[in-house]
Amino acid sequence: MRLSSVLTFLAGLAVAGGSAYLAREVLENQYANKDAGEESLVVDVVVASSDIAFGQAIEAHLLRTISWPVDAVPAGTFDGYAMLLPEPGKPPRRARRAIGQGELVLAPKVSDFGEKVTIVQTLGPNHRAMAIKVNAETAVGGFVTPGDNVDVLLTQGRQDTLRTVTILQNVRVIGVDQEADEQSDSPEIARTVTVEVTPQEGQRLALAQKAGTLSLSLRTLDASEDVQLEAIKLSDILKEQPVNEEVVRRKTITVRRGIEVTETEIN
């Protein structure tokens, strides 16, 4: 083999090897830039690492951070613990409402440092909290819990004048006795149930409590529309049915005393 052919062959190998190396470098740089671009499209946000109850202090062991798409970050998120945890010896922030495990910790859901958290902060605009006296029979056997929606029924009168009317519909329960945790689902026999009402509904409720007995009717989750209901009287339930004389027959016995025959009715 001539020397020129050998040199040409070696030069081809060198060019091919150099091209492959350059191509690999270009591809690696492209992937690195792509990964760096993808990483820049996410940010750290704080979520609850476990359930946080209403009024519970915000502590480090209840929090963790996760990556979140930067274009989908809601307003009020926290990118770290610094704004959530107090300085040593200072009062903590508290949950203004229950925060579930894995849920974003948002500014409206937590109080300021040392701020008192009460049930008032769960009320909607222009609403009031009002308590109703109940027992096992009038509170659905204790199955009403904070966060449920109920109808309120008034029963009044005696004997023939006894009647029931629905005075409020789709009312939100915000507390049972002193419990306002919406994560609680344990049945409990309550003495009072606190509901969220408008000022006008509060007036009706106060008057109704003096007029008779209030009962709660638990609504299903999909029962969002109110139904027009009229008052019902006891006489509407106990309607007397006409007596069929052909069906009702008297039962009698025949008594014979010599030639005297008598019939006696058996009740």
Q: Which residues contact 41 (CB under 8 A, 6 or more apart)?
A: 69, 70, 71
> Which two three-digit tokens encode residue 33?
């830039």
The mean pLDDT of 51-58, rounded to a whole number, is 89
pLDDT at 3: 58
pLDDT at 241: 53
Q: Considering only CA atoms, which of 41, 104, 58, 49 is closest in space to residue 77?
A: 104
> Which uninterrupted H or E stretch holds 47?
strand 42-48
pLDDT tens sequence across 149-202: 999 999 988 877 888 999 999 999 988 876 666 666 566 666 888 999 999 999
> Which uninterrupted H or E stretch holds 43?
strand 42-48
> Which uninterrupted H or E stretch holds 261?
strand 260-266
**Does residue 53 contact residue 95 with C-beta atoms inside 8 Å?**
yes
The DSSP letter of residue 109 is: G
Q: Residue 23: pLDDT band by 50, 70, 90 thresholds? A: low
pLDDT tens sequence across 85-110: 999 999 999 998 889 999 999 999 99
Tell whether the model's pLDDT for residue 213 goes beyond 70: yes
Please give the sequence-ordered ranges of beta strands (E in DSSP) within 49-148, or none if there are none.
63-69, 128-133
pLDDT at 5: 62
pLDDT at 199: 93
pLDDT at 39: 52
Tell whether the model's pLDDT for residue 77 goes beyond 80: yes
Tell whether the model's pLDDT for residue 243 goes beyond 70: no
pLDDT at 7: 55
DSSP track, 130-183: EEEE--TTTTGGGT--TT-EEEEEEEE--GGG-EEEEEEEEEEEEEETTB--TT
> Which uninterrupted H or E stretch holds 24?
helix 3-39
State the burial class of residue 190 (Cβ atoms within 10 Å of its Cβ: 0-12, 13-18, 19+). buried
Q: Which of 34-48, 118-132, 192-206, 215-229 is predicted most confidently?
A: 192-206
Sign of the alpha-carbon torsion through 116, 119, 120, 123: positive
Q: Considering only CA atoms, which of 97, 116, 114 is closest in space to residue 105?
A: 97
The mean pLDDT of 234-256, rounded to a whole number, is 64
**Does residue 43 contact residue 73 with C-beta atoms inside 8 Å?**
yes
pTM confidence score: 0.54
